[in-house]
Structure 1
């Protein structure tokens, strides 16, 4: 969901069809990034990302289809910050019912997908894949099609992964599995943890096996996130897995006015 390529000026493709990028507004995306960063800093104990450098390198080389599990209402705001960190011009599929209710998401790169499927959904998939026409372009999808707690198994990925991958393969796009979790780290609020997996070439794993393969990769990374949090135990000062895009609260807690007053009350005057 980046402003790379000044997507606002793209109104139609070479064949005259309306461009799927036409609703994106870089100025609005910039505002959304600021809002997302502030909101996540207030509500969560940090945003940690593992595998970011490799994912960003890949985005610079070819178009990427990111397949991420869907946990909560906060997921789109996490994606907005990931897009900025990746240096990508990203788009994301969003069910048409919610997109009609929240049309401002179009301005940050949301594209509609019909919840009932059928011919309309297939046309929308074709439109979405047209965004993957160059390096630095990325398309995010939630293969579950609904919110589901990260610890529940199976994750329940639908065959949209296979359908989109078959279309994206012609553009040279690669699939990157992404795990998203909101674990608690002995803090007043959960953290946001993201892990990018190794790329999957649709040409190497095709057909019905592709969806199962991507789902298994995401599930394994979610298990790895849980294991990393468990190893940290009760040490809240331990950094989350990966790079911190939004600093954890503990880094600032010792220096805040409230913390200083509480310390004075507990220890008495010196």
Structure 2
């Protein structure tokens, strides 16, 4: 058994027993080919939750400082994380991400760039749009509905892939990036609003 499957099994046990997780929309994840999972961000638990809800392995960007901590670096690397410099245009991370998608893998990303303090879905950063437009990946919106409290339900909802055909055919530029980002965030927000009132207690 790979380290990833081992860690995923561990987190699935935690989410099932401690947080009574509810997973919706697994069927919307393509069984093969590149995928970008775009989720709102409310907790440090979000990356393992995002990856644990589906069968295919999910890869994540993580701030490079985490890779300087020996044990943590080993764990997050085995769970599919790779380093990125925050607040800068990290070309190596961009190349790694695009290569990962070219290889038909799944990228998990949190477009807001930071955790929401209110639990509401905020504005997105343009990085996710760049990856979406420069690849042919299926872009799947994901809503994480919390909060994470012991023995209270946490819900993760995988939505249908977003149709970006017209935006990919449009002339590249800041307007296209903004429109793509806004569309992705709107889909996440819609899922969040649709399902947060349906969390069973």
TM-score by length of 1: 0.63
Give how far 1:146 is off. Answer: 1.4
* Counterpart contact for 1:69–1:143, Cα < 8 Å: yes
Question: For residue 65 of structure 2, what is the aligned residue in structure 1?
Answer: 97
Return the alpha-carbon distance in structure 1 between the equivalents of residues 150 and 43 of structure 2: 18
Tell me the SS of whatever aligns to 1:176: strand
Query: CA 1:192–1:65 in 2, change beyond 3 Å: closer, same or farther?
Result: same
* Counterpart contact for 2:40–2:188, Cα < 8 Å: yes
* Equivalent residue in structure 2 for 1:146, among 114, 126, 129: 114
Equivalent positions of 1:179-218 (< 5 A) are: 179-182=143-146, 189-205=151-167, 206-218=176-188
Return the alpha-carbon distance in structure 2 between the equivalents of residues 202 and 113 of structure 1: 26
Return the alpha-carbon distance in structure 1 between the equivalents of residues 18 and 189 of structure 2: 25
Query: Does residue 1:227 correspond to 2:191, yes or no?
Result: no
Question: For residue 132 of structure 2, what is the aligned residue in structure 1?
Answer: 165
Q: Please list the CA deviations of residues 186-237 of structure 1 after superposition, one character each: whole Å capped at 9, or x if unmatched.
A: x9632121111221243323432000111111111111122223xx6xxx4x
Q: Any stretches of 5+ residues in structure 1 without a counterpart?
A: 1-25, 237-270
* Equivalent residue in structure 1 for 2:4, among 3, 16, 29: 29
Q: Cα RMSD (Å) of the superposition?
A: 2.3
Return the alpha-carbon distance in structure 1 between the equivalents of residues 25 and 140 of structure 2: 11
Return the alpha-carbon distance in structure 2 between the equivalents of residues 209 and 216 of structure 1: 10
Relative contact order, CA 8 A, sep 6+: which one is greater?
A: 2
* Counterpart contact for 1:150–1:181, Cα < 8 Å: no
Return the alpha-carbon distance in structure 2 between the equivalents of residues 72 and 114 of structure 1: 20
Tell me the SS of whatever aligns to 2:102: coil
Higher Rg: 1
Return the alpha-carbon distance in structure 1 between the equivalents of residues 43 and 36 of structure 2: 20
Equivalent positions of 1:118-157 (< 5 A) are: 118=89, 121-135=90-104, 137-149=105-117, 151-153=119-121, 155-157=122-124
- Count of paired positions: 190
Question: For residue 171 of structure 2, what is the aligned residue in structure 1?
Answer: none
Query: Does residue 1:50 correspond to 2:24, yes or no?
Result: yes
Tell me the SS of whatever aligns to 2:184: helix
